[in-house]
């Protein structure tokens, strides 16, 4: 193997690990060796890491990914044992309102743009527009969380058990207004996404939801806004940013005008990101930033 030969010049005892089917992208760091690092520098690289996409039975993809922030170049790429077969993913969507993002992702699954299916809708508002849509499409609806007013709701551990039973791979938050409990985040590491209607980290955090976000953007005088899709951690809107779209804020915009312009982009962006997620085109840069591999040109990341 060419890659192993190159590495063995510098690290005689280092073996590229063979990874079998596993859900998460694998990464391994190399021991430090000055000669090897000067070779990397001659390729405009500051550090080096192997990325494997091992989720595919019988296939091992090794990418030597150059982590110089200004270069982001791929040094070498090899595919072994083609063809690459990617399992169709099972998605849970969480909403509290009309669910237009939920509907656009659902339609994209149905039309074959997304290699996955929404197997459950989770909501704290069982009468919301999105829940009605789910019932019409025969998508199971789960009430979460359990509260005084919603005694039929699930507890966090019941919810995790239900998602596991349904074999959910990824969770998409789309206008779900409750904080996600730590138990769920720990059960689904790097597998929960949220869409927020501003360019995070601006105009995010507790209290920034719905029209409040757009009013604050307009009041600030910002000339640009747009949706952000980010991974979810235990706080509001602070997880790693995965994708953004920019729209202009126009001089005479009302919050409703801006919301409509942003929402239009949200629908496209959430479908594109969900498609990438389901096709296993996400990788994690060494500094923890998630990137999406371009479908047409696998050497490009955004
Ligand atoms: C969207 O603006 C999204 O960014 C935010 O909540 C809104 C949900 O809209 N998190 P919808 O219910 O998908 O129409």
**CA 43 to ligand 1 centroid distance, Å:** 43
226 Cβ below 6 A of ligand 1: no
**CA 95 to ligand 1 centroid distance, Å:** 8
Residue nearest to atom 14 of ligand 1 (CA): 100
| Structure-derived torsion over alpha carbons of residues 276, 277, 279, 284, reported in degrees to the nearest 10 | 90
Residue nearest to atom 1 of ligand 1 (CA): 175
198 Cβ below 6 A of ligand 1: no
195 Cβ below 6 A of ligand 1: yes
Collapsed DSSP state (helix, strand, coil) of residue 241: strand
pLDDT, one tens digit per residue, over 210-255 is 999 999 999 999 999 999 999 999 999 999 999 999 999 999 999 9
pLDDT, one tens digit per residue, over 253-275 is 999 999 999 999 999 999 999 99
pLDDT of residue 82: 60
Count of CB atoms situated within 10 Å of the CB of 147: 12
End-to-end CA distance of the chain: 29
266 Cβ below 6 A of ligand 1: yes
Residue nearest to atom 12 of ligand 1 (CA): 99
In eight-state DSSP terms, residue 222 is: -
- Residues designated catalytic: 196
152-181 average pLDDT score: 97
């Amino acid at each position: 193997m060419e890659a192993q030969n190159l590495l063995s010049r510098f690290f005689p005892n280092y073996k590229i690990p063979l990874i079998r089917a596993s859900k998460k992208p694998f990464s391994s760091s190399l021991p430090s060796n000055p000669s090897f690092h000067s070779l990397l520098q001659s390729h405009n690289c500051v550090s080096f890491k192997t990325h494997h996409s091992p989720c595919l039975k019988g296939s091992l993809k090794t990418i030597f990914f150059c982590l110089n922030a200004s270069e982001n170049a791929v040094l070498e790429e090899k595919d072994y044992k083609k063809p690459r077969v990617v399992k169709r993913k099972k998605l849970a969507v969480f909403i509290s309102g009309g669910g237009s993002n939920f509907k656009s992702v659902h339609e994209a699954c149905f039309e074959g743009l997304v290699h996955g299916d929404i197997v459950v809708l989770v909501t704290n508002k069982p009468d919301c527009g999105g829940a009605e849509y789910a019932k019409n499409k025969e998508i199971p609806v789960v009430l979460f969380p359990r509260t005084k007013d919603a005694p039929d709701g699930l507890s966090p551990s019941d919810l995790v058990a239900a998602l596991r039973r349904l074999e959910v791979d990824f969770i998409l938050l789309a206008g779900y207004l409750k904080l996600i409990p730590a138990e769920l985040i720990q059960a689904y590491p790097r597998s929960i996404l949220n869409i927020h209607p501003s360019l995070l980290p601006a105009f995010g955090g507790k209290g920034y939801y719905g029209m409040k976000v757009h009013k604050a953007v307009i009041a600030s005088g910002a000339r640009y806004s747009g949706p952000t899709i980010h991974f979810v951690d235990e706080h509001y809107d602070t997880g790693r940013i995965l994708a953004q779209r920019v729209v202009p804020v126009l001089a005479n915009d009302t919050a409703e005008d801006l919301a409509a312009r942003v929402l239009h982009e949200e629908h496209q962006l959430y479908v594109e990101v969900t498609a990438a997620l389901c096709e296993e085109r996400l990788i994690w840069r060494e500094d923890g930033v998630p990137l999406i591999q371009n479908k047409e040109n696998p050497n490009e990341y955004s």
